[in-house]
A and B are shown apart, each in its own frame.
Chain A
């Protein structure tokens, strides 16, 4: 047995698996073939459908991996031999030298002098790099590398060229390093996360790639969009540098094509929709997408597609036969299949969504590992209890694209799932203590250090950074200020730590991007420098200034000055805070005994934790109990369940079957549940796996034709009535806010094929065939070959599209362009999935997304976690999934929960309410406003005592805002600190400013989102962050108006009649109450009501945030113009 796991491939899959394992106390060796981890995700501009900045959300994870004491990164390395078996593998790794030592500071001097210019792979070869280079600014490990194949020297010679080694300040370029070294590592399990390549587009000669510069691949276009890319985020035609007026996107280039790759590449539809959206956003007015089926299968995908269409992108069903350069740019010839006409469209640019293919060398790697490669070129998955994670060799697991194309959330789920599977092979865990620098103890007099980030051109392209640095140096308490190209990059982080010690800095201000994404990164920098991590204040120059004020650089710079002053003045008042340790009940509670819950519970039990599995039905299995054969792999549902049930029993899970959770509450480390049989369970982590429910197809009740649901059909084999069977898809899916149900297309194709095999006439009616899962497209093709007729009905719900008569169904065949009557004996309804009816999630205050399923922590990188810590989402409870996806996500929750349970305590962020008992008059007003019941009045009112339960407190600060006696302090968001920010914000020209209070979870994130989407709004807003709008107290409003603020806007999570999105249950109700009171009060004082406003803004509502600021700005400007505000 072992304490280590080898991970092969350092893309997002390898990174996520490494972090999950390391957090759970496993040692990880992360083997990456290239110079840096990060994979393809680091090269992407934005992620669909949230339009998150890709590298911005990935980079913190990369630096976390780079710094984690349990993770060893071997870059430029490949696994060359594996011996042994699960639990005890001996792995040989060959690592090539980079010829640059770890003392590298990434100063880039070497790069400047290197004479060898090469295409930069990271920029899809659209820009250049040198032979000594770093692939991208946030690369991990951070040292530069020498591409020795193209370097002029042949090591160990420093001849004919030694320019780089001559200029290197730390003198760390060393050509005498051995060309390669062989390393031996032992491991209990291996995870293969080798990623993917994209195909060579020039193989499709008819599309002319390579013959004309304006025919691009999607990856090239991605780099054009990126502000850190070769054009600084400008979409230009490589041929002449002009902005294209029209762009055409071609899907399925090499995918779903028997000449190249038969499978569906799965994520091209969505990134092409994203590209279309971004192209329009970048001012390209004429955007066309040529598709065959839009596979918008994920959460929020369909609505993103519709939104892109509404914004003006034209989606045309067809596939080009030829792309030719002509007088007017490029001419694309295709049949518009809805109009049944051949079109020749002249466009300025064409973007090809090239197929995903197995990365080069995967077959050889598979052979080294003793794994089989499947027909599609990816590694063969041994599908049973692991979905697509299991490989053909025990102890070796697949994550992400090594087991077939996958998008980021599915990859991340699999990575965590593979981590869980790997953990079950380990018998030892360890958490090395991170060496902190000698603590900086002289904290009395504030000595503020300010670091201003260029973020490439993201900030520096708009804000005059040198001027801001100069200004910062003039501010009180500032002892040091400098700018940095990318503050988040590994070596720049080290630079900050060095400067802190060098200049005796004891308060740190980083003016860069959002604390929402990078606070953790810079807190770690503080920790390493020996500075208490809570002596950091971030200034959000990027999301809330440069990105949203591109057109007015002077005003953006002026705003930046204000923002930096706000940050510095708050920083001066920061005090060190110590993380508190709260007890962790090392028991897991899994609610829901479907396939996902079973996988999660069994794995947690295998990891050695007491695990309770509660299932309200009399037996385990959930929806899978009703299934027979699982498409596309053709697994027997019965066998799968049998195996899973046995695993649940053998692993020692404590079963509570036929029992419901009656009451549940508590928080991370300390949840409690009362079951309907009276049993009480305490648990440190809760996995929600309540699944989904099939749509009740009331809309098909009473039709004059025999109908069965697809689930009922699976119960009937082999006695299927009727000879002519018509299967209809999307029953209950893709309407009224519901998205795609994901599982049904592949399932109905599988059923149709089986029915056809029985000699029946089978028709499948579909809106788009979404056979995106591995082998599913191949199954679809097979069904077609077998004679199943596929009929595309109009893009409306089936109950509107179908006319059902006795013995026939009439529908418009979109492909034929005519109505057809289909003789039918039996109509099979492929039911969509709907959120299960349950109140467990409501009791735990887990919010829901638009489609009614539970809201995940992050749609890309946190699909298996709820927003509240300690609560995890397994399977369809988070959104519709098929069996293999549910298994992966079930296992993912086991990795996440297992990492928590591995320790007997949790570290609690020191931002909980602190009672200043000397000021307290024991009035008790704080007690009822606490959403968590964390304040107890132990004695009579006005006498006391009063008790604050730290473990229960979540730090919203509603109590502090309620207190009139300054008897409650909210660390990191103290009254003094916030007042200092207000004073700084309104120091100059206060009447022209809109002071905005925003809550950490929704409205501040909404403001960030406006930045991500580059929605421009006026520069008058000055934003102050608190954890919750419930923290905003009257004193803040008073101060703002005293100083002559033009207007004040209070924002927070949404509060509607249907409920509250508040992350502190319903603390924003207190905000509403207080606001109503303030408004009346200020109206009486003669403050116009429009100058004090309240607006609920969710994290996704960047547009709404911007619109509100525009409105507030108009109010302020009116006053200024009328001269009222002259001061």
Chain B
């Protein structure tokens, strides 16, 4: 993936037009200030980090790319500061899409797509096992009369760690007494992996199929475990009448505000919150998770220096979950250090990818700090109440 230097690059108009078409001209207004390069988290870790600006420059001129777009975690830290409003992450995905067309995708990507195609999930897990996470609890099949569809998503369905989050949520919903259902083992993948890896054509099929499915099922409100799934439903799916995808933190914040969810007892813990990129920068959901945490008596919330729109990415977005990242080059290593510096006992987040990355990094430090999902903290606080 290292760039090679050509003597003279000849501009190729047809290649440029392909890039323009794929990116919808998004990169054209970039005036090359380099703030993206400086803002990109890779610059904090790598000796010769991705030069986002150069990548944009090549796209602007329709010059062949060396594959650096595969590094992008689509965290959008660069876009926050881009003075020309270039949707840089979208450009990265469009370049990946061109790489699929040109068959120049890196190794290891293609099996993820095959897994998605054959198994309906990117984790190469059998579709029949999709509902196994809910084995110990009673979760009913979704009915249109339910308040919402609970969408667990692939990671919370199959990954042992994230399954606990889904279960915690089921418990919370029970306490609050809300009616909900899932699609059980018929739950389809939202398509995030296809989106993030630039498999645009297949993504369109998934989106089409799932949209029809949601209409058939009479789904209106859908509450997701992962911000990635919510972002897909919200921003990548065609508008469906009455369809309202919520991340569970938004839903919990609403329950608390409506008085349907109350915390009876103190839950003494010092916590810091890591904003998932897809929840925060992508969809501006900064306050609901904080409101939920703030509602817990006894919980002390401390902020990391980089929070909200400035939050550092965990490194797991943009399909990076399915690519190798060298030890010592993980964003989450930095993020965990930042969290430790706050003196918090618990690093709270609200995304399965974030949990996986942050826990991996935290293990290396040997610190007693724990990584918890907002749902787990809430469940803990509720059970503390019951215990008392």
Residues of B within 8 A of A320 (CB): 35, 38
Could you count the A-B residue pairs with CB atoms below 8 Å apart for me: how many are there? 118
Residues of B within 8 A of A292 (CB): 31-33
Contact B38 A819 (CB under 8 A): no
0 or 1 for each of B213-229: is its CB under 8 Å from A? (1 = yes):
00000000000000000
* B51: interface (CB < 8 Å): yes
Closest-by-CB residue of A relative to B30 is: A784
Contact B8 A820 (CB under 8 A): yes
> Which of B52-60, B100-108, B117-125 contacts the other chain?
B52-60
Closest-by-CB residue of A relative to B9 is: A820
- Bound state CA distance, A257 and B84, in angstroms? 6
Beta-carbon contacts under 8 Å, A774-796 to B? 781, 784-792
Contact A335 B30 (CB under 8 A): no
* B13: interface (CB < 8 Å): yes
* B326: interface (CB < 8 Å): no
Interface majority SS (helix, strand, loop, mixed), chain A: strand
Asked whether A787 and B28 contact (CB < 8 A) given A292-B33, A321-B35, A321-B39, the answer is yes
Asked whether A322 and B9 contact (CB < 8 A) given A335-B34, A784-B30, A816-B63, the answer is no
Beta-carbon contacts under 8 Å, A620-648 to B? none
- Bound state CA distance, A320 and B81, in angstroms? 10
Contact B81 A821 (CB under 8 A): no
* B43: interface (CB < 8 Å): yes
- Bound state CA distance, A319 and B84, in angstroms? 13
Residues of B within 8 A of A256 (CB): 31, 83
Listed residue (A256, A789, A818, A821) with the most chain B CB atoms within 10 angstroms of its CB: A818
Which bucket holds chain A's interface residue count? 35 or more
Asked whether A786 and B28 contact (CB < 8 A) given A259-B85, A335-B53, the answer is yes
Closest-by-CB residue of B relative to A811 is: B8
Asked whether A816 and B20 contact (CB < 8 A) given A335-B34, A821-B10, the answer is no
Picked from A318, A340, A769, the residue with its CB within 8 Å of the CB of B33 is A318
- Bound state CA distance, A5 and B329, in angstroms? 69
Residues of B within 8 A of A822 (CB): 11
* B6: interface (CB < 8 Å): yes
Residues of B within 8 A of A333 (CB): 38
Residues of B within 8 A of A206 (CB): 81, 310
Picked from A322, A769, A808, A816, the residue with its CB within 8 Å of the CB of B54 is A816
Residues of A within 8 A of B60 (CB): 789
Picked from A259, A724, A792, A813, the residue with its CB within 8 Å of the CB of B13 is A724
Beta-carbon contacts under 8 Å, A820-840 to B? 820-823
Residues of A within 8 A of B53 (CB): 335, 337, 340, 815
- Bound state CA distance, A898 and B70, in angstroms? 68
Asked whether A319 and B11 contact (CB < 8 A) given A206-B81, A818-B6, the answer is no
* A1121: interface (CB < 8 Å): no
0 or 1 for each of A312-327: is its CB under 8 Å from B? (1 = yes):
0000011111100000
Residues of A within 8 A of B51 (CB): 335, 340
- Bound state CA distance, A763 and B43, in angstroms? 31
Closest-by-CB residue of B relative to A318 is: B34
Residues of A within 8 A of B258 (CB): none
A917 vs chain B, min Cβ distance (A): 73
B45 vs chain A, min Cβ distance (A): 11
A656 vs chain B, min Cβ distance (A): 48
- Bound state CA distance, A97 and B238, in angstroms? 61
- Bound state CA distance, A815 and B9, in angstroms? 13
Residues of A within 8 A of B25 (CB): 785, 787
Residues of B within 8 A of A305 (CB): none
Picked from B28, B37, B310, the residue with its CB within 8 Å of the CB of A335 is B37
Residues of A within 8 A of B32 (CB): 292, 337, 792, 815
* B178: interface (CB < 8 Å): no
A192 vs chain B, min Cβ distance (A): 30
* A117: interface (CB < 8 Å): no
* B135: interface (CB < 8 Å): no
* B49: interface (CB < 8 Å): yes
- Bound state CA distance, A320 and B34, in angstroms? 8
Contact B10 A823 (CB under 8 A): yes
* A334: interface (CB < 8 Å): yes
- Bound state CA distance, A190 and B72, in angstroms? 56
Contact A319 B34 (CB under 8 A): yes
0 or 1 for each of A331-347: is its CB under 8 Å from B? (1 = yes):
00111110010100000
Picked from A257, A340, A789, the residue with its CB within 8 Å of the CB of B83 is A257
Contact A342 B49 (CB under 8 A): yes
- Bound state CA distance, A336 and B31, in angstroms? 14
Listed residue (B11, B16, B54) with the most chain A CB atoms within 10 angstroms of its CB: B11
Listed residue (A206, A320, A337, A817) with the most chain B CB atoms within 10 angstroms of its CB: A337
* A561: interface (CB < 8 Å): no
* A1127: interface (CB < 8 Å): no
0 or 1 for each of A1-27: is its CB under 8 Å from B? (1 = yes):
000000000000000000000000000
Contact B29 A785 (CB under 8 A): yes
* A368: interface (CB < 8 Å): no
- Bound state CA distance, A292 and B35, in angstroms? 11
Residues of B within 8 A of A334 (CB): 34-35, 38
Residues of A within 8 A of B35 (CB): 319-321, 334-335
- Bound state CA distance, A340 and B38, in angstroms? 10
* B386: interface (CB < 8 Å): no
B29 vs chain A, min Cβ distance (A): 4
Beta-carbon contacts under 8 Å, B54-90 to A? 54, 57-58, 60-61, 63, 81, 83-85
Besides A792-B32, A823-B11, 13 more A-B contacts (Cβ < 8 Å) are A258-B85, A319-B38, A333-B38, A335-B51, A337-B33, A342-B43, A784-B84, A785-B25, A787-B28, A816-B61, A819-B8, A820-B8, A820-B9
Residues of A within 8 A of B (CB): 205-206, 252, 256-259, 292, 317-322, 333-337, 340, 342, 724, 761, 763, 769, 781, 784-792, 808, 810, 813, 815-823
- In the complex, 19 of the A-B residue pairs with CB atoms within 8 angstroms, ordered by the A residue number, are A205-B310, A259-B85, A318-B34, A319-B38, A321-B38, A321-B81, A322-B38, A322-B39, A334-B35, A340-B51, A769-B31, A786-B28, A810-B8, A816-B9, A816-B58, A818-B5, A818-B8, A819-B8, A821-B11
Q: 8 shortest A-B CB distances, which residue pairs?
A: A335-B34, A321-B38, A257-B83, A319-B33, A321-B39, A335-B37, A784-B29, A821-B10
